[in-house]
Structure 1
């Protein structure tokens, strides 16, 4: 699977130490904080939280600032990124290596599930959605952050898209060995769902969409769903 190869190769370190380090203070951390606060507004005192596709623990770190007493489990397909998460969080979180189609978690056991830049990378999106539903308790929260395909562009969207692409093209020039991985990023966005299509899929699979926020003219969005009680 291309995603497994990309994030277990040299790109994992480059992404976290260069791309994420440069982009997070500018805009991505704002999206992550919004995701965490949106989920906690719906479930303020979660006991068990899973960050699926956790990477190096960027979302989990914000979560633990808000609810340090919760049990946090980081899951990711990348052993390299999980190692970084362990170095960052130590004993404050558990770390599990897993594919995002097969969650190594008991059914109806999770209060909040975070998925950042995760669903888009699944080769079987419907299976990932069903696994999220299976693991969440009734009334549990699924908080998703991703780059969605933009169907209608306006000036704001086009301008931010140009900035984003320029930034990534610069990284291709600086790190030539990671060109394939960066090209995959653009390809995955173009092949992914729009926000509205994803909302429809969530509803069909048993979620009520509680909140949607768009960033950079809709290039990135957070979608927060609640597992229906039935």
Structure 2
């Protein structure tokens, strides 16, 4: 028995994860990712606009529309937005419901991020927009959510799941904290279906985005990692299988721009 436990501990310790094109120890990946997002926090929104030509705003708007109208009778609605430190998705959800009773009384959003630098940006923006009463900001790990089971009506994560070291564990945590009938929804870069568009997309990402990072943020390294992480991320079908394997039902995905990004979803039954 002791020998088996020793082997298990050695195996766990020796596991590796992708950090862009590099291999790092699994338990060290989160620290590397944290440093990247600490570096990019202050220029995050500006660089998103430059890198996507403003398209990230359209993708995020469509993502929030895919979530649908949040209604639960007279009960409160709780949304968990993971890896959403700067508040982009949370603010869009609140804007969609602004002016109705849900916004004024019942809709509460928890923005969770492992990086405090990103959360500080989001908190400042929430105060400026007057959303501080509808949003709470929590610094925690997506793989170990500090919430009771069956707490949230919806779980969103936009451009964050590929940076999680143990993706199945994080999605399993999403399933745990959602209420019965709750919706999981993920927006992430994916695999372009058309070969010509795929080639052009990769050429753009690897040749221009790191250069932009160097010029605008004086940080080529962080943006080189970001494009490498996109290249190493799961295909649409592989991510869908993970979502289904942890227990989500009626799961599927929808491509934007032929798969430049994709929205995955599933329901806890």
TM-score, shorter chain, exceeding 0.5: yes
The TM-score bracket by the shorter chain reads 0.7 to 0.9
Runs of 4 or more, structure 1, over 6 Å off, are none
Shift of 1:209: 4.2
Q: TM-score, normalised by structure 2?
A: 0.76
Query: Per the alignment, do residues 82 and 166 of structure 1 end up closer, same or farther by CA in structure 2, a change over 3 Å counting?
Result: same
Structure-1 separation of matches of 2:113 and 2:121: 11
Query: Per the alignment, do residues 176 and 137 of structure 1 end up closer, same or farther by CA in structure 2, a change over 3 Å counting?
Result: closer
Counterpart pick for 2:226 among 185, 193, 200: 185
Structure-2 separation of matches of 1:172 and 1:155: 25
Shift of 1:75: 0.7
Does residue 56 in structure 1 map to residue 86 in structure 2? yes
Matched residue, 2:246:
205
Question: For 1:99-150, what per-residue CA distance to the aligned partner results, in whole angstroms no more than 9, with x for missing partners?
Answer: 22111222101001110111111111111011101110111111101112x2
Does residue 28 in structure 1 map to residue 70 in structure 2? no
Structure-1 separation of matches of 2:170 and 2:140: 12
Does residue 130 in structure 1 map to residue 172 in structure 2? yes
Matched residue, 1:147:
189
Which 5+ residue runs of structure 1 have no aligned equivalent?
none
Matches within 5 A, 1:100-139: 100-139=142-181
Shift of 1:191: 2.4
Q: SS at 1:94's partner residue?
A: strand
Structure ID, larger Rg: 2
How many pairs are equivalent?
224
Q: SS at 1:155's partner residue?
A: helix
State the Cα RMSD in Å: 2.2
Structure-1 separation of matches of 2:71 and 2:65: 9
Question: For 1:67-113, what per-residue CA distance to the aligned partner results, in whole angstroms no more than 9, with x for missing partners?
Answer: 24210111111212111111111313100111221112221010011
Query: Per the alignment, do residues 192 and 154 of structure 1 end up closer, same or farther by CA in structure 2, a change over 3 Å counting?
Result: same
Shift of 1:23: 4.8
Which 5+ residue runs of structure 2 have no aligned equivalent?
1-30
